[in-house]
Amino acid sequence: MSKNYYDAADLRKFGKITEWSEELGNKFFDYYGKVFEEGALTAREKSLIALAVAHTEQCPYCIDAYTKDSLQRGITKEQMMEAIHVGAAIKSGATLVHGVQMMNKVNKLEM
């Protein structure tokens, strides 16, 4: 057992989750594969969305995977960084918009 919580080599073992729950695991991977196929959105656009979400979720495996995937698709560094800013803006916006809830509560409680 690794002494670290995350090990980059573990990403390659992702498929093994099916070993302990075959049906659910296979359903997940089928769904996952289908999601990333070309559709109304291009596979390239989906890769950039995945990269942004990988950062907001702070998943090191996903960041490794979708950084490489972006490079493979010819996505530039500038495009990748802009995508991450979109994620960061939503993440910080989502934090700040709760400020309204705080303000509502303050207004309700204060005389």
Span from 21-29, 48-56, 72-80, 81-89 in contact with another protein (CB under 8 A): 72-80
SS3 at position 6: coil
| DSSP codes, 35-73 | HTSSSSS-HHHHHHHHHHHHHHTT-HHHHHHHHHHHHHT
CA quadruple 86, 91, 97, 103: dihedral positive or negative?
negative
Instruction: Say if residue 91 is exposed, middle or buried (CB neighbours under 10 Å; 0-12, 13-18, 19+).
Output: middle
SS3 at position 86: helix
State the minimum distance, in angstroms, from the CB of residue 19 to another protein: 18
74 near another protein, rule: CB under 8 A: yes
73 near another protein, rule: CB under 8 A: yes
Q: Which of residues 3-42 bind another protein (CB under 8 A)?
A: 12, 42
Question: How many residues in the shown chain lie near another protein by CB under 8 A?
Answer: 11
Q: Which of 24, 35, 43, 81 binds another protein (CB under 8 A)?
A: 43
Span from 27-35, 54-62, 69-77, 98-106 in contact with another protein (CB under 8 A): 69-77
Q: Which is nearer to another protein, 14 or 90 (CB)?
A: 14
Nearest to 60 by CA among 26, 9, 20: 9
Contact positions vs another protein (CB under 8 A): 12, 42-44, 68-69, 71-74, 76
